Amino acid sequence: MKKKTTIVGKDFPRVESRAKVTGAAQYVDDIQFGPNLLHARLLRSPIPHGLIKRLDTSKAAALPGVRVVVTGKDYPGLTGLYLSDRPIFAVDRVRFVGEPVVGVAAETEEIAEQALDLIEVEYEPLPGVFDPEYGAGPDAPLIHPDLANYAVAPFVFPQAGSNVSNHFKVRKGNMDEGWAQADLIYEHTYRVPHVQHVPLETHVDVAQMDGNGKITLWASSQSPFAQRNLIAKALGISHGMLRVITPYVGGGFGAKAGVSVEGACVALAMKAKGRPVKLCMSRKEEFYTTFVRQGLIAKIKMGMTNEGRITAMQNTYYWDGGAYTEYGVNITRAAGYSSTGPYNVPNVHADSLCVYTNHPIGGAMRGFGMPEIHWAIEQHIDRMAQQLQLDPVQVRLTNCLRGGDVTVTGMVMHPTGLAECIQKAADAIGWGKPSRPSAPHKRRGKGIAAMWKAPAMPPNPGSSATIRMNEDGTCSVGIGGVDMGQGTLTIAAQLAAEGLGVPIEWVRVNTVDTDYSPYEWQTVASRLTWSMGNAILNAAREAKQQILEAVADAWNEKPDDMDIIEGKVVSYATEREMSLKNIAVYGIQKPDGTWVGGPVVGKGKFMPTYVTPLDKETGQGPRAVVHFTTGAQAVEVEVDTETGEVQVLRIVAAFDVGHAINPDMVRTQMEGGAVQGMSTAMLEQIILKEGKPLNPTFTDYRIATAVDAPPDIETIIVEVPQDDGPFGARGIGEHAMVPTAPAIANAVRAAVGVEIDSMPITSEKVWLAMQSSDRASGSKAVVSPL
């Protein structure tokens, strides 16, 4: 007999009171909307997998002060960026602990909480899937029986009748020949746990429908235009009837890309009769009910010659995509076309599988799958180098991609400074030079790891920009990119000023309002400096051309003989000059008394047109991505042999950014990424037991702070220009986080001879490994997950 469980609201796990947060939450505080503001709360599933057999909200709806109650039956549409598999509220089945089942909006937070206690839900528990390798097999219970019916992007390949929502394959070269050429073949399995983005500001939204049915959503979001698109489709409304406003965002790291809780807020507002509805996630909810970074099981098999040349690589990646993989399927794809790491490998067999589990929803996080696969690849290379008694730096220099090499997908690699990054990082850390430990019971070691990452996106993500001149010669720049602390507005102002020829103080960049801002796909993939930057430069060129043509007409000169420098139109032919003040809007008077010119508005857009499809069975194609940013990190650690404690003493980060538009901001991205990478490497893990998170607070989930940061971080900027980048620039926002974890693991191994297969590298794991290691014989212990 099937088991049924009846749960009333008071039996659900409660969340703590909402703390005051900054950023968008402050912007959309109650003061903006006055006493008319309704407060929303979500009733969430307490079980990881089950059918909803009965749902009774009548008592909650009758509670005085409750104004709106919404369930999945009200809005059953699905949403998803690459795979439409996710309902706004569970309809007939729940798939993870914390899934929204009912939304309530009331006059106060307290009343909304009381209403949740009055809701009754009867579940029929179903078997869960908590391991992606098992979940990919034929015996695992199906989490999405309707997978075959979901709308999906053409480059995502779900496997109907299974839990595999995307299977990306790479087949390159001849594997038999590759193995035959190898003097050493080594295979091993590595694991990466789920982690949280933990932005300073949690998810927070306010939505309101006006008397004409127009809905405005104020959202702490990386994706205002994508949210408008996805929510409108899921709720069956016109895009023109949904407006998304994004003020300054208090951190994102990928957590606020796509749609998570925003759809629920809009759905509540649609039934609130014109009243605004505010939905703010508590820190506990943020930990496991929004996006998390996907877990990974990586199986690596590699062949190498005695000289250190990689002859073959066979990788299988099982991604723990969670209950809904609408975003995770593209992480799987990115891991597939990057599956070898930044190396020239002639023979490759790779399978990257996104697997449904009954865990929290996996989504974008800084690095987008690259920190996870490099954790495995970069440790594997070091282990093979040691077995062959080779220098890990030289092995990387022997195999690293250079301009003109063929990548894993058959794309010809553009010019890259990867080899220079590896060498400079090694030189700066003092590779090969021993360091004296601070105490007799401590050991020091140095490690290195290389990386590559492309902007992971569809082939046609567009950017647009506008530049509108003001009467005094200043200008307003419209963009759709979001500033969440990474410096989008600063870069936009720099590029507009440089492209137009005015002082940067004359430039004002607007935040995002989808009704008035030009379109931007999303603020993800470290793509804004490159993609949005190109759109801004195109807008600047158009505005500049309008001004020069008007002045040239008035002066009877040629526009090609003129330029704008520091806010003045100058003529190289006659040496005349004129300030933009009073002419950029009103125009300029000709000698005959007539006027030319008028209000100047420049428009620009950019969309890559050269990315090609990849073959479904082989993953081969002329151009898989727009470009790769490459780099390397070297670290020095000190390990306490009595406790297993690991202290990171130094990090050297060297990255090829094409051209550093703002070197100070590039360096801070490299520093911040290294510290965040160190945090995930040594501290962070969402502990899950049968789908239930056990540490969803900062009490039990540690992140690195200034106290933990290494005292010495050196940044090295390498510049090999990108042919289609603004002034040759490429992105750097995510990349500095990618190689940190394996570099630390390799340094720990060099220090005390232990191998750590799973993040995080805790003192307990290191100590246990040392205890089981026979130091006298030089054998090493391998520690698997605890």
Instruction: Provide the token pair at 713.
Output: 């971080």
Are 674 and 633 in contact, with CB atoms under 8 Å apart?
A: yes
Answer yes or no: do 472 and 581 share one domain: yes
Please say which residue of 606, 621, 652 terminates a domain.
606
The residue type found at 70 is V
For the chain, what is the domain count?
3
- pTM of this prediction? 0.95
Beta bridge partners of 412: 406
In a domain, 662, yes or no: yes
**Per-residue pLDDT reduced to its tens digit, 657-711:** 999 999 999 999 999 999 999 999 999 999 999 999 999 999 999 999 999 999 9
Residue 582 — φ and ψ, nearest 5°? 75, -5
Instruction: Provide the token pair at 219.
Output: 């959202």
Q: Which of 713, 709, 734, 487 has its CA nearest to residue 631?
A: 734
**Per-residue pLDDT reduced to its tens digit, 369-417:** 999 999 999 999 999 999 999 999 999 999 999 999 999 999 999 999 9
Look over the chain and give the mean of its residue pLDDT values, rounded to a whole number.
Answer: 95
In a domain, 275, yes or no: yes
Work out the pLDDT band at 773, boundaries 50, 70, 90. Answer: confident
Are 460 and 522 in contact, with CB atoms under 8 Å apart?
A: no
Q: How far apart are CA 746 and CA 764, in angstroms?
A: 17
State the Cα torsion 569-572-576-579 to the nearest 10°. 10
Answer yes or no: do 391 and 300 share one domain: yes
The residue range of the domain holding 563 is 17-25+461-606
Work out the pLDDT band at 774, boundaries 50, 70, 90. Answer: low
Question: Which are the catalytic amino acids?
Answer: 734
| Distances in whole angstroms, Cα of residue 595 to Cα of each of 550, 561, 589, 699 | 9, 21, 4, 69
Work out the pLDDT band at 784, boundaries 50, 70, 90. Answer: very low
- Residue 679 maps to which CATH number? 3.30.365.10
Answer yes or no: do 636 and 721 share one domain: yes
Work out the pLDDT band at 30, boundaries 50, 70, 90. Answer: low
In a domain, 263, yes or no: yes
Answer yes or no: do 262 and 404 share one domain: no
Answer yes or no: do 297 and 368 share one domain: yes
**Per-residue pLDDT reduced to its tens digit, 38-59:** 999 999 999 999 999 999 999 9
**Per-residue pLDDT reduced to its tens digit, 76-117:** 999 999 999 999 999 999 999 999 999 999 999 999 999 999
In a domain, 370, yes or no: yes
In a domain, 6, yes or no: no
β-pairing, 712-718 with 646-656? Answer: parallel
Instruction: Provide the token pair at 294.
Output: 């996907």
Answer yes or no: do 316 and 348 share one domain: yes
Answer yes or no: do 483 and 537 share one domain: yes
Answer yes or no: do 392 and 484 share one domain: no
Taken as a whole, the chain contains a residue count of 786
Largest CA distance in the chain: 96
In a domain, 131, yes or no: no
Answer yes or no: do 231 and 362 share one domain: no
Answer yes or no: do 602 and 644 share one domain: no
- Residue 271 maps to which CATH number? 3.90.1170.50
Evaluate if residue 22 carries a pLDDT over 60: no
**Per-residue pLDDT reduced to its tens digit, 118-165:** 999 999 999 999 999 999 999 999 999 999 999 999 999 999 999 999
Work out the pLDDT band at 781, boundaries 50, 70, 90. Answer: low
Are 384 and 186 in contact, with CB atoms under 8 Å apart?
A: yes
Answer yes or no: do 749 and 768 share one domain: yes
**Per-residue pLDDT reduced to its tens digit, 432-485:** 999 999 999 999 999 999 999 999 999 999 999 999 999 999 999 999 999 999
Work out the pLDDT band at 3, boundaries 50, 70, 90. Answer: very low
Evaluate if residue 619 carries a pLDDT over 70: yes
Average pLDDT over residues 226-238: 98
Instruction: Provide the token pair at 345.
Output: 């490998």
Answer yes or no: do 21 and 37 share one domain: no
Work out the pLDDT band at 775, boundaries 50, 70, 90. Answer: low
**Per-residue pLDDT reduced to its tens digit, 582-599:** 899 999 999 999 999 999
Q: How far apart are CA 42 and CA 28, in angstroms?
A: 19
